[in-house]
Amino acid sequence: MATENKNLSEYDKAVLPEAGAMRIGLVVSEWNAAITENLFTGARDALLDCGVAPGNITRWNVPGSFELTFGCHKMIRTLSLDAVIAIGSVIRGETSHFDYVCSAVAQGVKDLNVQTGIPVIFCVLTDDTLAQAEARSGGKHGNKGTEAAIAAIKMASLGT
């Protein structure tokens, strides 16, 4: 596996764009809340660490990962933001529901990126097991929320 024994959440603030005035939205799925709360915390903490003002970080919750696309779209239409992070966790079950949800969310986030002109960062874990999700939401593989925050800062600065 590509991330075996690696923590990919380390970043160097010195090489990141100035983030002090950036306005970042986070849309967080309530499904698999223990995982998504860890992802949110990683994202929020990284944004704050990189200088984003606490008042410039907005959080909205949605019931599940499938609803992330609508939540992000509504947030973009309602607020003046530089980037949005879609935070979710889908863990494979016994049916094909996993495949449909993962595909729909990935396509939806891609569509928002193309259609809105605001970067929407895909921070949706698509794991086979709870242990894999835990390892990527603050465990041995770091926190994908942290990585999403850094991606949001980088994408928000494009063209500025």
pLDDT, residue 160, reads: 61
Task: For residue 65, give the CATH number of its domain.
Answer: 3.40.50.960
Q: Count of domains in the chain?
A: 1
Task: Name the percent of the chain lying above pLDDT 90.
Answer: 81
pLDDT per residue over 112-128, tens digit each? 999 999 999 999 999 99
Cβ-based neighbours of 61, under 8 Å, separated by 6 or more: 27, 28, 29, 30
Residue 76 falls inside a structural domain: yes
Domain that includes residue 68, residue range: 23-94+120-156
Poorest-confidence range of 1-5, 15-19, 47-51, 71-75? 1-5
Residue 78 falls inside a structural domain: yes
Mean pLDDT of 39-68: 97
pLDDT per residue over 92-111, tens digit each? 988 888 889 999 999 999 99
Residue 88 falls inside a structural domain: yes
In terms of Cβ atoms closer than 10 Å to its own Cβ (0-12, 13-18, 19+), residue 115 is exposed
**141 in active site:** no
The single residue of 6, 13, 74, 97 carrying the catalytic annotation is: 97
Q: Do 30 and 36 meet the contact criterion of CB atoms below 8 Å apart? A: yes
